Chains A and B, each alone.
Chain A
Amino acid sequence: MVKAAPRKHSAGALVRLVGLGKAFDGEVILRDVSLTVEPGELVGVIGPSGCGKTTLLKLVAGLVAPTEGKVEFGGGPTRRESLSFVFQDATLLPWLTVLDNVALPLKIAGAPRREREAKALTHIERVGLADATRLYPRQLSGGMKMRVSVARSMTVDPTLLLLDEPFGALDEMTRDTLNEELLRLRQAARWTALFVTHSVAEAVFLASKVIVLGARPSHIAHAIDVPLGYPRSSATRERSEYVERVVTVTRALHSVQE
């Protein structure tokens, strides 16, 4: 089920952005962004280029400090430790094999070699790269690299997954496939996600709620629920609710760009 209204303050919230604002060198990029993400939600963020989508994710990840407001991590075990970030580019270490790249977060956390490799292998298999374990990033296609990046983000068993235009650089076919795979992974692992995209179709396909950011200084202009439920598959793209939401989000996006 999908919860409505971004400003609703429910006790079970996973992350709550409260009046979040960010300025770089005095120039206000984000203003008064308030958003509650419930456990299990997939919140898609879409907006004009340069409006501050990446900055928003980095604020949540703690990579950038807010100039106003705050990011609260909900009651329960969820703190920033159980958070993963998938960057726009695959952001792999070129000198490590696929296996070592995927195992990196565990290595940083101090897991013993045997344990982290076993775990990394499981996640590599889940993204269908079992044959590429020993390859280096330069030997991989763009799609394979993103799969490695996704597998790496899964190794820490994240409660909250942040994705910044993860498949934006890929061709549409590969992107659709990867989106379907991502949702399949979610069925198994049940993380919550906040993701940025510039594709309306991708936003609606993945999200339970789509946030449309307005032009700068950006704020939440629209919050649109996507009542499609999970699991979803390629057949979902043919459902009328899907098509309707694509139209709604497209209109919302046009309205903020004027």
Chain B
Amino acid sequence: MTSLGDRGRGWTSALKRHAAGWGVAGWPLLVGALITASWYGGIVAFGIPEYQLPPPHRIVEAGLQEREVLLTGAMQTAQASLIGFLISVAGGLVLSILLASSRWAYQGIYPYVLLLKMTPIIVVAPIVILWAGQGLASITVITFLVCFFPIVANTTMGLRSADANLLDLFSVYKAKGWQQLLWLRAPGALPYFMTGLRVAAALTPIGALYGDTVAGMGSGADAGLGFVVLIFSAQFKVPALFAAAFAACVIGFLFVGFVNVFAWWVLHKWHDAYVAVD
């Protein structure tokens, strides 16, 4: 609000509003322009050859040239990511509820979840391929393995950390176990679950791309983005390699963006941390 009696403050607040408008689109654009300029500048100044750092317009060109391969690759990867992600969400929720249901279940099972987490995916991947064969099934399983743990760890912690007074409240009114889980533990675990979801969303494309590079197959329409990257790099198509990196970046961005919007939509009404963000 601009108050008439205080012109000075009105002026600064107008400036601040202006600056805030800038912040959304202006600053990123400006920084982007600076990066592009120094990119070209660097190539000219240091005489960097195209096979090390292609100029941006060559990357765009290559992207357009290879658009079919890139697009089908991206679709493949997005599909594997999505399926792996959804399975890990569903499986993660079921396991978390089981882990939180009793102390016995937690102490008995959680060490093995940890063990699974501690085993590097690079070691597990060949075994997965041994069982599920080359192709989408293996890639999905590898994606699943990568994003399963953050969901389980966070959700379990959320389910187990209900406020002691709220638990007492439910006891005073003689709540049954399922009522306590459904109306107290589960909603209380939502912010934790969302945190797990965000971490998993960021890991998902990495899982799918890695899965591609070890279990991907075929060429053209069957190849995921990870496989496309392998081909480009073998063919020394450097600008196209950069374009593929950009495509992977877009997939990751979409995943994380979607989860963030979802988390905001679910939590903003009551959860302080999600109230003020963007």
* Majority SS at the chain B contact face: helix
Q: Which of B97-105, B161-169, B226-234 binds A? A: B161-169
Interface contact A87-B187, CB-CB below 8 Å: no
B46 at the interface (CB under 8 A from A): no
Interface contact A58-B168, CB-CB below 8 Å: yes
Select one of A87, A88, A109 contacting B173, CB under 8 A: A109
B174 at the interface (CB under 8 A from A): yes
B118 at the interface (CB under 8 A from A): no
Interface contact A91-B183, CB-CB below 8 Å: no
Interface contact A95-B172, CB-CB below 8 Å: no
Interface contact B168-A95, CB-CB below 8 Å: no
User: Within the assembled complex, what's the spacing in Å between the Cα atoms of A79 and B172?
Assistant: 12
Closest to B180 in A: A108
In the complex, per-residue mask of B253-278: 1 if CB is within 8 Å of any chain A CB, else 0: 00000000000000001111001000
User: Within the assembled complex, what's the spacing in Å between the Cα atoms of A177 and B163?
Assistant: 29
B175 at the interface (CB under 8 A from A): yes
Select one of A81, A104, A107, A138 contacting B270, CB under 8 A: A138
* Contact A94:B271 (CB < 8 A) given known A109-B173, A156-B173: yes
B171 at the interface (CB under 8 A from A): yes
User: Within the assembled complex, what's the spacing in Å between the Cα atoms of A85 and B165?
Assistant: 11
* Contact A91:B172 (CB < 8 A) given known A107-B183, A108-B179, A137-B270: no
Chain A residues with CB below 8 A from B190, complex form = 95
B170 at the interface (CB under 8 A from A): yes
User: Within the assembled complex, what's the spacing in Å between the Cα atoms of A83 and B174?
Assistant: 10
A84 at the interface (CB under 8 A from B): yes
Closest to B275 in A: A138
Q: Which of B170, B172, B179 is packed against the most chain A CB atoms within 10 Å?
A: B172
User: Within the assembled complex, what's the spacing in Å between the Cα atoms of A93 and B170?
Assistant: 11
Interface contact A95-B173, CB-CB below 8 Å: no
CB within 8 Å of B: which A96-143 residues: 96, 104-105, 107-109, 136-138
Instruction: Give B266 Cβ to nearest chain A Cβ, in Å.
Output: 10
Q: How many chain B residues touch the partner (CB < 8 A)?
A: 22
Interface contact B270-A105, CB-CB below 8 Å: no
Select one of A83, A93, A96 contacting B172, CB under 8 A: A83
B184 at the interface (CB under 8 A from A): yes
* Contact A81:B174 (CB < 8 A) given known A87-B168, A94-B270: yes
User: Within the assembled complex, what's the spacing in Å between the Cα atoms of A95 and B183?
Assistant: 10
Chain A residues with CB below 8 A from B275, complex form = 138
Chain B residues with CB below 8 A from A85, complex form = 168-169, 172
* Contact A63:B173 (CB < 8 A) given known A87-B165, A94-B270: no
* Contact A63:B184 (CB < 8 A) given known A89-B165, A91-B166, A94-B270: no
Interface contact B169-A91, CB-CB below 8 Å: yes
Chain A residues with CB below 8 A from B174, complex form = 81, 108-109
Binding site for A on B (CB under 8 A): 163, 165-166, 168-175, 179, 183-184, 187-188, 190, 269-272, 275
The 12 listed contacts between A and B (C-beta, < 8 Å) are: A61-B168, A63-B168, A63-B171, A81-B174, A85-B168, A89-B165, A91-B165, A91-B166, A105-B173, A108-B179, A138-B275, A156-B173
Q: A87-B169, A138-B275 given; name 15 further pairs at CB < 8 Å.
A: A61-B168, A61-B172, A63-B172, A81-B174, A85-B168, A85-B172, A87-B165, A89-B165, A93-B184, A95-B190, A95-B270, A104-B173, A108-B173, A108-B174, A138-B272
